[in-house]
Amino acid sequence: MAQGPYSDIVVDHFENPRNMGEIEAADGEAEVGNPTCGDVTKIFLKIEDGRIIDVKFKTFGCAAAIASASMTTELIKGKTLDEALKVTNELVAKELGGLPAAKVHCSVMAEEALQAAIKDYKKKSAG
Protein backbone atom coordinates (compact mmCIF):
# COMPACT_ATOMS: atom_id res chain seq x y z
CA MET A 1 0.00 0.00 0.00
CA ALA A 2 1.37 3.41 -0.96
CA GLN A 3 2.79 5.46 1.87
CA GLY A 4 2.37 9.22 1.84
CA PRO A 5 3.27 10.73 -1.52
CA TYR A 6 4.98 7.58 -2.82
CA SER A 7 3.63 4.89 -5.15
CA ASP A 8 3.73 1.22 -4.19
CA ILE A 9 6.59 0.77 -6.67
CA VAL A 10 8.72 3.46 -4.96
CA VAL A 11 8.04 1.88 -1.56
CA ASP A 12 8.95 -1.58 -2.91
CA HIS A 13 12.24 -0.37 -4.42
CA PHE A 14 13.05 1.49 -1.19
CA GLU A 15 12.30 -1.50 1.06
CA ASN A 16 13.77 -4.08 -1.36
CA PRO A 17 16.40 -2.26 -3.43
CA ARG A 18 17.65 -4.14 -6.47
CA ASN A 19 21.38 -4.34 -7.23
CA MET A 20 22.56 -2.58 -4.08
CA GLY A 21 26.25 -2.89 -3.32
CA GLU A 22 29.49 -2.28 -5.15
CA ILE A 23 31.51 -3.96 -7.88
CA GLU A 24 35.20 -4.44 -7.15
CA ALA A 25 37.33 -3.13 -10.02
CA ALA A 26 34.28 -1.77 -11.83
CA ASP A 27 34.72 -0.90 -15.50
CA GLY A 28 32.97 2.40 -14.90
CA GLU A 29 31.84 4.16 -11.76
CA ALA A 30 30.70 7.57 -10.69
CA GLU A 31 29.33 9.36 -7.67
CA VAL A 32 26.86 12.21 -7.95
CA GLY A 33 25.50 14.28 -5.11
CA ASN A 34 22.73 16.80 -4.70
CA PRO A 35 23.96 19.71 -2.58
CA THR A 36 20.40 20.89 -1.89
CA CYS A 37 19.29 17.79 -0.01
CA GLY A 38 22.60 16.05 0.71
CA ASP A 39 21.71 12.84 -1.17
CA VAL A 40 24.52 10.94 -2.90
CA THR A 41 24.33 8.09 -5.43
CA LYS A 42 27.23 5.99 -6.68
CA ILE A 43 26.84 3.63 -9.64
CA PHE A 44 29.23 0.80 -10.57
CA LEU A 45 29.21 -0.82 -14.03
CA LYS A 46 30.64 -4.12 -15.31
CA ILE A 47 30.79 -4.02 -19.10
CA GLU A 48 31.54 -6.75 -21.63
CA ASP A 49 31.43 -6.27 -25.41
CA GLY A 50 29.73 -2.89 -25.02
CA ARG A 51 26.93 -4.31 -22.86
CA ILE A 52 26.23 -3.76 -19.17
CA ILE A 53 26.45 -7.24 -17.68
CA ASP A 54 26.26 -6.09 -14.07
CA VAL A 55 25.42 -2.90 -12.24
CA LYS A 56 25.36 -2.00 -8.56
CA PHE A 57 24.60 1.18 -6.66
CA LYS A 58 25.02 2.76 -3.27
CA THR A 59 22.79 5.65 -2.26
CA PHE A 60 22.82 7.79 0.82
CA GLY A 61 19.48 9.52 0.78
CA CYS A 62 15.73 9.44 1.04
CA ALA A 63 13.31 6.76 -0.18
CA ALA A 64 12.94 8.43 -3.59
CA ALA A 65 16.72 8.58 -4.09
CA ILE A 66 17.17 4.89 -3.24
CA ALA A 67 14.17 3.84 -5.35
CA SER A 68 15.38 5.95 -8.31
CA ALA A 69 18.85 4.37 -8.25
CA SER A 70 17.36 0.88 -7.83
CA MET A 71 14.98 1.35 -10.79
CA THR A 72 17.77 2.82 -12.92
CA THR A 73 19.92 -0.28 -12.39
CA GLU A 74 16.98 -2.51 -13.29
CA LEU A 75 16.35 -0.56 -16.51
CA ILE A 76 19.97 -0.72 -17.75
CA LYS A 77 21.07 -4.26 -16.84
CA GLY A 78 21.80 -6.21 -20.02
CA LYS A 79 21.55 -3.12 -22.22
CA THR A 80 24.19 -1.67 -24.53
CA LEU A 81 25.81 1.60 -23.49
CA ASP A 82 23.81 3.49 -26.13
CA GLU A 83 20.56 1.96 -24.85
CA ALA A 84 21.50 2.78 -21.26
CA LEU A 85 22.22 6.40 -22.17
CA LYS A 86 18.59 6.69 -23.33
CA VAL A 87 17.34 5.98 -19.79
CA THR A 88 16.19 9.40 -18.61
CA ASN A 89 15.02 10.62 -15.25
CA GLU A 90 11.53 10.95 -16.78
CA LEU A 91 11.53 7.24 -17.67
CA VAL A 92 12.77 6.29 -14.19
CA ALA A 93 10.05 8.41 -12.54
CA LYS A 94 7.40 6.93 -14.86
CA GLU A 95 8.53 3.35 -14.13
CA LEU A 96 8.35 4.15 -10.41
CA GLY A 97 4.72 5.17 -10.80
CA GLY A 98 5.58 8.85 -10.50
CA LEU A 99 7.50 10.92 -7.99
CA PRO A 100 6.30 13.94 -6.01
CA ALA A 101 7.50 17.20 -7.61
CA ALA A 102 9.82 17.84 -4.66
CA LYS A 103 11.53 14.48 -5.29
CA VAL A 104 12.06 14.59 -9.07
CA HIS A 105 15.68 15.65 -8.41
CA CYS A 106 16.25 12.11 -7.07
CA SER A 107 15.59 10.58 -10.50
CA VAL A 108 17.78 13.29 -12.07
CA MET A 109 20.61 12.31 -9.72
CA ALA A 110 20.29 8.65 -10.75
CA GLU A 111 20.39 9.62 -14.45
CA GLU A 112 23.45 11.84 -13.89
CA ALA A 113 25.26 9.09 -11.96
CA LEU A 114 24.55 6.60 -14.76
CA GLN A 115 25.79 8.99 -17.46
CA ALA A 116 28.91 9.81 -15.44
CA ALA A 117 29.67 6.10 -14.87
CA ILE A 118 29.39 5.42 -18.63
CA LYS A 119 31.61 8.44 -19.31
CA ASP A 120 34.14 7.07 -16.77
CA TYR A 121 34.11 3.69 -18.55
CA LYS A 122 34.64 5.31 -21.97
CA LYS A 123 37.52 7.39 -20.59
CA LYS A 124 39.18 4.33 -19.02
CA SER A 125 38.72 2.14 -22.10
CA ALA A 126 40.03 4.82 -24.48
CA GLY A 127 43.31 4.86 -22.54
Q: Which residues form the domain of 69? A: 8-122
For residue 38, being part of any structural domain is answered with yes
pLDDT digits over 55-111, tens only? 999 999 999 999 999 999 999 999 999 999 999 999 999 999 999 999 999 999 999
> Of 62, 40, 64, 15, which Cα lies nearest the Cα of 116?
40
Q: What is the DSSP letter of 86?
A: T
Domain count, the chain: 1
Alpha carbon separation from 86 to 30, 72, 75 (Å, rounded): 18, 11, 10
The string of pLDDT tens digits covering residues 6-31 is 999 999 999 999 999 999 999 999 99
- Residue 127 falls within a domain, yes or no? no
Whether 106 is catalytic? yes
Task: Give me the catalytic one of 9, 23, 37, 85.
Answer: 37
- Catalytic residue among 30, 75, 87, 106, which? 106
Helix locations, the chain, DSSP H: 8-15, 63-76, 81-85, 89-95, 104-126
pTM: 0.94
Whether the CA torsion 117, 22, 67, 64 is positive or negative: it is negative
